[in-house]
Structure 1
Amino acid sequence: LGRTIQSVRQAVWDGRKLIRWLKSEGYREISVLGMSLGSWVAGLIAAHDSAVSKASLFLTAGSLADMVWTGRATRSIRESLEPVIELTELRRAWGPLILENYAHNLARTDLELHVVLAKRDKVVLPEISRGFMQRLKAAGARPNILELNCGHYSLGMPPYILLAGLSLKRFLSFR
């Protein structure tokens, strides 16, 4: 549990350090993109760094704990944790990694959000993602959501990846 927090914390720290360097090099618009576990990292960076103006989160949900507990691909992780920890305790232990805890940070007016979800995802269950979208909206965010009729891994295949890519291109286009 601790190593997961340490590694995600390091990834967020590295991302924020890269943003500071980009800003020092004169970049004005900073966007982050993450897919699956990377979407938690990108979301945490966006939530903690006001230099980020756009965040695109592919295959995300609010709670990493819930994703690990319910996802088919993470069943072995759950089986290793279940004898020693319950889901409520895992949520508390991984609280710093739960994007829902930063919904208000992600709803700030100078941050645009783009989210791509998979309706048939067996890794990040759609109901967990939908709950996160509701939490974001309740906090005042207006995420641009694309929900595709595919699974977690099939998002990487045509036509889904093309639809997701076009949506991302429109989102990142400068106005």
Structure 2
Amino acid sequence: MFFSTFIDRLALYDLHRKRSKDKHFSAFSLDTIARDEFYKSKIADVSIILDESRKKYMVGTFSYESLIPSGDLVNDTLKGEVFFNKTDIDKPNVIFVHGWRMDSYDRIKKIFHHRIMKDLGWNMYYFSLPYHFEREPEHSRYSGELMISANIDRTVESTRQAIVDLRALIHWIKANKTGPVILVGVSLGGWIANLIATLESQIDVVASIFYANRLSYSIWNTIPGKFIREELEQHGVTYEDLIRYWEITDPSQAVPKVNKDHILLISAKYDQYIDIKDADSLWESWGKPERYLYNCGHAGIVLCRKKLALDTLSFIQKKLKR
């Protein structure tokens, strides 16, 4: 326990060495709207460019324009990496969703990528969240700064943009590929995966790794959110206010549309980024789907790669065989 906590605290110290210089606060002004309507989506007009051959794979990029434009041209063009099996006969399609402030897909690739290419041959898609990677505006201090912040409305709209655009990609895959669709989210990507599981029935398997449940809880009660909380409090926002403002982004407010038996939740007992109590809350509200608890902290994303890959891929394979 001490070692896991210590490693997470070191990583958090390094994380906060790069922090927002500008103030982001904006008051809440979004109109009340039903969840299904708020996150409504349609098929994306996806462009695929395959420009490299690697053994059994064709490698390239996919891109399309966001269905929920933010007004920032850089953020509103999605571009991700794609790996297609050359045979492409009923191969599963796995979409990976990264974490907050990640600046590349490397951490996720080091867990899953080689194992899938070598042993499974699945098609892979690496999806970029709003304001991350190539979608990060020039004035942003770090990847993802503008997605989660004290700008209450923009945080909700960025979440909406992520969900609607990810659903649009899923619809494209369903229309153009014959294999099942698998969604794997890590950290913030796990939260996105959980939220989309309550909205999208065309996902065959969901694996959510070191996920948050209630965004307001994470901002108010964990170290990564401390400076955002500080800015919100400076403007008179209380915890109860934030819960209400961000309720539409809370996965535990709805039941999954994905088969509960096809959902895997993985949490770390000593996580200093995601409070285990918050992770417990989602698991319980969803009727306790299959769940693994690791004796590590959030750094288990790096330290437990082999176990994460084995547990996640074994679960997915087991569900696809049924």
TM (norm. structure 1) is: 0.88
Q: How far is the alpha carbon of 1:107 from its aligned partner?
A: 6.3
Q: What residue number does 1:156 align with? A: 301
Q: How far is the alpha carbon of 1:116 from its aligned partner?
A: 1.0
Bigger CA drift: 16-25 or 123-132?
123-132
Q: Is the 8 A contact 2:261 2:289 kept in 1?
A: no
Q: Structure 1: how far apart are the matches of 2:182 and 2:301?
A: 21
Q: Is the 8 A contact 1:58 1:117 kept in 2?
A: yes
Q: Structure 2: how far apart are the matches of 1:27 and 1:14?
A: 20
Q: What residue number does 2:283 align with? A: 133
Q: How far is the alpha carbon of 1:44 from its aligned partner?
A: 1.9
The structure with more helix, counted as a fraction of residues? 1
For residues 44-123 of structure 1, the aligned pairs below 5 Å read 44-83=195-234, 84-102=236-254, 104=255, 106=256, 109=259, 112-123=262-273
Q: How far is the alpha carbon of 1:17 from its aligned partner?
A: 0.5
Q: Is the 8 A contact 2:265 2:292 kept in 1?
A: yes
Q: What residue number does 2:56 align with? A: none
4+ runs deviating over 3 angstroms: 107-111
Q: How many corresponding residue pairs? A: 167
Cα deviation, 1:87-117, whole Å, max 9, x if unaligned, reads: 1110110011111112x2x165466111110
Bigger CA drift: 126-135 or 114-123?
126-135
Q: Report % sequence identity.
A: 26
TM (norm. structure 2) is: 0.49
Q: Structure 2: how far apart are the matches of 1:150 and 1:99?
A: 24
Q: Which amino acid aligns with 2:216?
A: A
Q: Structure 1: how far apart are the matches of 2:290 and 2:260?
A: 14
What residue ranges of structure 1 are gaps of 5+ in the alignment?
none
Q: Structure 2: how far apart are the matches of 1:164 and 1:27?
A: 27
Q: What residue number does 1:168 align with? A: 312
Q: Which amino acid aligns with 2:315?
A: F
Tell me, what secondary structure is at the counterpart of 2:286? Answer: helix
Cα deviation, 1:44-64, whole Å, max 9, x if unaligned, reads: 222111101211111123211
Tell me, what secondary structure is at the counterpart of 1:147? Answer: strand
Q: CA RMSD in A?
A: 1.6
Q: What residue number does 2:172 align with? A: 21
Tell me, what secondary structure is at the counterpart of 1:74? Answer: helix
Q: Structure 2: how far apart are the matches of 1:56 and 1:6?
A: 24
What residue ranges of structure 2 are gaps of 5+ in the alignment?
1-151
